[in-house]
A and B are shown apart, each in its own frame.
Chain A
Amino acid sequence: MRRGSILTLIAIGIVAGGIATAVAVLLPWLPEPASREAGRIHFVIWFVIVICIVIFAVVAAAIIYAVTHFRAAPDDLSDGPPIHGNTKLEIAWTLIPTVLVTAIAIVSAIVLSRNDAQGKDVLHVNVTAQQFAWSFSYPDAGGASSPILRLPKDRSVLLTLHAKDVIHSFWVPEFSQKEDTVPGLTTTLHITPDRLGTYAVICTELCGLGHALMRTTAVVMTPADFDKWLKSQKQASTTKG
């Protein structure tokens, strides 16, 4: 290949990569994270997106270059050069992707294990899903229960998930963590909220007619507010019981 065509190829690649980067950066892809896990997951997403953009740019450049430079006139009945392969190239495009996906796997595995590692003083919350409602109870507060998930900021929370009828799935987009609730099984999910606010809890597993509306809210409070709320709940449940 001539120098000129390599330069054209690179230029197309840069443009394609630039457009992809613009799409990735300028469009509002991800909700602003509200948990430490979400922060790490977003890191993985961006890490993989960078790799994807590079690969996309390479492929796009090759396609665009080929389409623009190797177009034959309709009456051109000649054939291209009979190139059957190139062992070095083939090894390269086997090895480089292998290295890239290995890197992705390693980063993912690290993030996964850090996201599952619980901090000190874990808050336990039982989550019960049924068609088509959520309920949350706090074993540390005498089993006080609430239709809204209230969590303290910066404390490790372990959700223990149950389902009464069919499979549901617990997701708060801002927390990024998600796990199915399965009848007959106990599943868990670990979250460390780190931003005050009110977020939507969404069921993401098709669970029947009311699936689309199976929502509630999650409120991240300051630890002091949370303790106050928990205490009031505890009192309410003891006076009731």
Chain B
Amino acid sequence: MTAATVEETHHVHATAGGGSPWRMLTRGGWIRAAWMTCLFGALGFGIVVLARWGGGWHPILATDPIVLVSLLVAAPLGFLAGLGAFDYWTYYALGGATRPEDHSGHGARSWKDYFRVNTDHKVIGMQYLVTTIFFFLIGGMLALLVRAELAKPGMQYFDNQTFNGLFSVHASLMIFLFIIPAFAGLANFVVPLMLGAPDMAFPRLNALSFWLLPIAGIMMVASFVVPGGAFACGWTGYVPLCSTHQPLGAVFFNQAVQWAGASSIMTALNFLVTIITMRAPGMTFWRMPLLVWANFTTSLLVVIATPFIAGSQFFSMFDHVMHTAFFDPAKGGYPLGYQHIFWFYSHPAVYIMMLPGFGIMSEVISVFSRKPVFGYRLMALSLMAIVVLGFSVWAHHMFVSGMASWLRVPMMITTLLIAVPTGIKIFSWLATMWEGKLHFNTPMLFALGFLSMFVIGGLSGVMLGAVPIDIHVSDTYFIVAHIHYVLFGGSVFTIFAGIYYWFPKMTGRMYDEKLGKLHFWLTFVGFNLTFFPMHIIGTQGMPRRVSDYAPKFADVNMFISIASFGLGASVLVFLYNMITSWRDGELAGSNPWRGMTLEWLVTSPPPVFNFDEIPQVVGSPYEYGVPGAQHAVLVPSKATEMEEVPV
């Protein structure tokens, strides 16, 4: 089938349906979403009231359970149903004949198509990226408010509840609504292309996973307007502080994490199935680009670990709303249990936030050094090693928590060992650059920034892994410095690198290279000025998560706050560049970086179904410098000929 017919069929589907008022109300979309959200919210309210009335529990109109069931569970479900995320499944469940995929919800022809349930992985990837950058901006603004308060000792602008809410929501947004889903967005766009697949294995599930995210994000931000204020127990939500000593906002956090977690589990499952079952002919596991490997391993982590944070948030929430006794020692609960369960997810989560970035680095460094990735197999194996080891180190976050002290040394050993595969990756990237032909385009600058910053973060991680050191610096600004070196200098730099790298593929246009470089340098310098001094005040004795501090730290904190505003300003350059270049950047062509992986074989942006013929993979993805070598060729294959017939 030719691209033209595809376009045509689309057109027919899109305009079919007419515009009678009844259709407007019942057709999947924002109007139906509006009334179904209200309807489901009301149903949730009714169910709780009925159940409480039937069970004789007083008061019948208890705020906590009503808000939880009606606002945080039922209404979002109504929203999703209204938007049309469940349409096909409902139809199927009620016994409709199996419909062949009509692709009516696939692809985008106008900006409006980005605001509906769309099954095209490329559209979903963009939806993810724009949404996550939106929450990145909100999270960043919250961070600047935190820094404003901390510029001077004593209280300036906020009360303590607000201040604690600011850093809690900041961290939660950055982790659950920026870093994790931004990687999912990039991978959504790129992985099927790299595999030579027309889409993800379960496009409708993919669309649903995306639409869970705005729900989670709005829930976290909305907790600021809940009576009592936002949840103020840090992104870790330690109990019993978070379960029984917090206002209703804590439940918003618990539940938002569930929505975000569900989203990432479904996406990960989708990636795993796609990578296993939809590789192009010739694409063996050892020919997959490392980005695909990285998302494969990340997805394994997500599928296995994420249910644990779901569990931890259920328990904390039940303690809050149903007065259960998971973590209440007075009733026989065990407060440390929360930390074990939470970190059994959240340590793997730090790799969930890092491995996809490793994948991006391998692509970028190899392309801009014009050399094959050094030690490809060991690179893939070290990803697997990190996955396996990552499950055996969770208690390194609990060295001073009062847990059984015999656990400390074994957990220290595994923690330190995880530095080995991480080191392998760093050294291999260095060797990839060695004797290469380096081009310092913006993605490469961010890659180099990542390398240098991540080394510092990794080394401070090794320090933290050594129990005696951790005892001194745990819960101080040293930790704040460490997590920002690995998460900002690590993950965020790789996200920026990835966005710049695939920007031409996504939009068909080039970003402005000068502005890109300016963005990099502002970020790099601002980042170091902001976060490096935090190491020092941490070891000197400034604890984390405080609104006020000893006067001796005043100067450094003022310095950090000023630098942080510079860092914040650098994001404006990025935004300006993205928006203007998307509108009227130079046309990019299909392969501006002279890359070898499959996404560069198709036009920019790619055709609706990615490949008009199935690519045949013939070699490894990084054969730069090998004369005549190719990763894949596009030949009209037998399968496509077969397809020509029935239409």
Contacts and interface: CB of A to CB of B under 8 A. Distances in A.
Partners in one complex: yes
Interface of A: 27-31, 38, 40-41, 44-45, 48-49, 51-52, 55-56, 59-60, 62-63, 66-67, 70-72, 74, 76-86, 89-90, 93-94, 97-98, 101-102, 104-105, 107-109, 111-112, 115-116, 161, 165-167, 169, 171, 173, 176-185, 187, 200, 202-213
B437 interface: yes
The 6 tightest CB contacts between A and B, nearest first, are A184-B329, A173-B541, A79-B625, A72-B437, A80-B436, A212-B546
A147 B539 CA distance: 26
B469 A97 contact: no
Interface of B: 160-161, 164, 232-234, 238, 240-241, 245, 329-330, 333-336, 369-372, 374-378, 400-402, 405, 408-409, 412-413, 416-417, 419-420, 423-424, 426-428, 430-431, 433-440, 448, 451-452, 455-456, 459, 462-463, 465-469, 471-472, 474-476, 535-536, 539-541, 543-550, 594, 623-626, 629
Nearest to A87: B375
Given A66-B430, A208-B241, A209-B161, A41 B540 contact: no
Contacts of B436: 66, 70, 80
Chain B CB count within 10 A is highest, among A28, A72, A161, A200, for A72
B555 to A, nearest CB: 12
A109 B409 contact: yes
B238 A83 contact: no
Contacts of A80: 369-371, 435-437, 624-625
B463 A82 contact: no
B541 A67 contact: no
A9 to B, nearest CB: 11
Contacts of A101: 416-417, 419-420, 462, 465
B302 to A, nearest CB: 27
Given A167-B335, A181-B402, 14 more contacts: A55-B423, A59-B451, A62-B433, A67-B440, A70-B437, A72-B370, A80-B370, A82-B624, A83-B431, A108-B412, A182-B402, A185-B335, A202-B543, A210-B160
A59 B329 contact: no
Nearest to B594: A77
Contact of A206 (B233, B405, B434, B465): B233
A79 B432 CA distance: 12
Nearest to A55: B459
Nearest to A183: B329
Q: Is the interface of A mostly helix, strand, loop or mixed?
A: mixed
B451 A108 contact: no
A201 B378 CA distance: 48
23 contacts: A52-B462, A59-B430, A59-B452, A63-B430, A66-B436, A80-B370, A80-B625, A82-B625, A83-B371, A84-B372, A84-B376, A94-B378, A97-B423, A107-B466, A112-B409, A167-B335, A176-B472, A184-B330, A185-B329, A203-B543, A208-B245, A209-B232, A212-B546
A70 B475 contact: no
Contact of B401 (A84, A165, A180): A180
A29 B536 contact: yes
A105 B466 contact: yes
Contacts of A161: 402
Nearest to A82: B625
B147 to A, nearest CB: 15
B482 to A, nearest CB: 12
Contacts of B426: 59
Contact of B471 (A29, A41, A184): A41
A28 B540 contact: yes
A97 B160 CA distance: 44
B543 A171 contact: yes
A167 B476 contact: no
A182 B402 CA distance: 7
Nearest to B532: A23
Chain A CB count within 10 A is highest, among B435, B476, B541, B543, for B543
Contacts of B466: 44, 48, 104-105, 107-108
A82 B422 CA distance: 24
B455 A55 contact: yes
A48 B541 contact: no
A23 to B, nearest CB: 9
B435 A204 contact: no
A90 B330 contact: no
Contacts of B535: 29
Contacts of B467: 108-109, 112
Nearest to A77: B594
A174 to B, nearest CB: 8
A52 B439 contact: no
A105 B240 CA distance: 33
Nearest to B460: A52
Contact of B431 (A89, A177, A202): A89
A166 B240 contact: yes
Contact of B536 (A27, A48, A56, A116): A27
Chain B CB count within 10 A is highest, among A60, A84, A102, A206, for A206
A76 B465 CA distance: 45
Nearest to A104: B466
A209 B546 CA distance: 9
A185 B426 CA distance: 42
Contacts of A208: 164, 232, 241, 245
B376 A182 contact: no
A66 B434 contact: yes
Contacts of A72: 370, 437-439
Contacts of A77: 594
B468 to A, nearest CB: 5
Contact of A29 (B424, B539, B629): B539
Contacts of A207: 241
B401 A182 contact: yes
Given A77-B594, A81-B371, A94 B474 contact: no
B469 A44 contact: yes
Contacts of A38: 472
Nearest to B456: A56
Nearest to A92: B427
B413 A70 contact: no
A167 B241 contact: yes
Contacts of B234: 206
Given A84-B372, A109-B409, A98 B420 contact: yes
A71 B438 contact: yes
A54 B474 CA distance: 24
Given A48-B466, A182-B336, A82 B372 contact: yes
Contacts of A81: 371, 435, 625
Nearest to A113: B409
Nearest to B414: A105
Contacts of A70: 369, 433-438
Contacts of B424: 90, 93-94
B402 A112 contact: no
B563 to A, nearest CB: 16
B423 A93 contact: yes
A116 to B, nearest CB: 7
B240 A63 contact: no
Contacts of B370: 72, 78-80
B385 to A, nearest CB: 10
A176 B471 contact: yes
Nearest to A42: B472
B449 to A, nearest CB: 10
Contact of A104 (B372, B416, B430, B540): B416
